[in-house]
Every structure is written in C-alpha cells, then in structure tokens.
Amino acid sequence: MYIFGYGSLLWNPNFLYDEAIQGVVIGYVRRFWHLSPDHRGTPDNPGRVVSLFPDVSGSCWGIAYKINKKNIESTLKYLDHREKAGYQLKCVQFYPDNGSDPFELCVYISEAGDNIYHSVPTSIDEIVKQIIRSRGPSGSNLEYALRLADCQRRMAPKVWDEHLFEIEQRLLKECEYLRHEDEILEKLNHNLSYLVRERNNSEA
C-alpha cells in the first residue's frame, strides 16, 4: 500500500514506511481551500491547510510512501485520526518522477457535499489573512504554509506551484508590514528587514 503526501506529510509523516518515491498525481491541484479546526487553527478560529481539488489540466507533486503490510492497519488508524476534519481516503494514479510505471495509491482529500471544512473557492487575500492570524495544537498556520513552500522548493526545485508560492510571497510581505513574530521566519532564513534590524540591535 502507498500513501500520497502533499502537505504536512512531506516533512512530518510520523509513521513507518519502507520507501519514499517522488512523483505527481494528475487531474488534481493543491489549494489552501480547506479549513483546519484541529491542527493549525481552532474550532472558533480555523486555519487554512491544503487539499487536492479536481482539475483536468492540473497536477500535484508529492511523495508516495510505501507502507509495509504489517503496518497498514496501524498507519491508517493514525492517519484517519490525523485527517479526521473533513478528509476522505481516495485512490488515484501516481506517476513517479523516475519514469517507472504509474501505480495506484491512496490519498486523503477534501470533497464537497456536507463537508463543513470544504471552503472553495477562496481569494488569496482571505487565505493570507486567515493564515497570519491562526494557530492550533500543531503550531502556527504560518509555519505550515512556509514549511510547505520550503519543502516544495527543496525537494522538487523544477516543479513550480504558482498558488503555493504566491501565498508564500504574500505571507512574507504581510509579515513585513505587520512586523509579525514567528520563529519559523528565522528557521527558514527569511531575512525580513525588521528581523535583521532586531538581530543587529541585539548583537550591538
């Protein structure tokens, strides 16, 4: 069994796997159109996380994690709980970057219907404002968004995700404007001017 990671599973799978294969799923795009009331936000102030949404001309890069047969039950139990807020397990085709044959895998996605966490379409402005102000048990929403952009850039430098990288740049501009404090900015070496000034003043 393979599980497709395209969000926080890229840097924090937190389950045992035998192999990690980079590649894409076709016919879907990754968007910040899903509300997070349990990880990067709260029920009263939900954050924004990504899911996959149908798009006939789209694709999404990610990682296929191969799960050993003996670990399938425990892994699915863990992921069902982790992705409980509006995500459903679905089977899709995966195309490895190494050119080997495509194969079917499982992925957690947000689908419409009676899904109260499904929030689409949403403007970039609204997404950025919501991410900046949101925080949940797993950390700040800003950390999630910036880590995702960082993973995409480092792991798949030839794959451009316009939606993700536009949100990243807008978030950094908003942080600059608000002089927003979050340790992830320095961890990922985002040298915003006010952070550089503060660092220089502390060293003086």
The catalytic position among 19, 73, 83, 104 is 83
* 166 included as an active-site residue: no
Alpha-carbon span 39 to 8, nearest angstrom: 11
Burial class, 8, CB count within 10 angstroms (exposed 0-12 / middle 13-18 / buried 19+)? buried
- From first to last of its 204 residues, what are the pLDDT tens digits of the chain? 999 999 999 999 999 999 999 999 999 999 999 999 999 999 999 999 999 999 999 999 999 999 999 999 999 999 999 999 999 999 999 999 999 999 999 999 998 778 899 888 889 999 999 999 999 999 999 999 999 999 999 999 999 999 999 999 999 999 999 999 999 999 999 888 887 777 677 665
Task: Please tell me the pTM assigned to this model.
Answer: 0.93
31 token code pair: 């968007």
Domains annotated for the chain, with CATH where assigned, are: 2-195 (3.10.490.10)
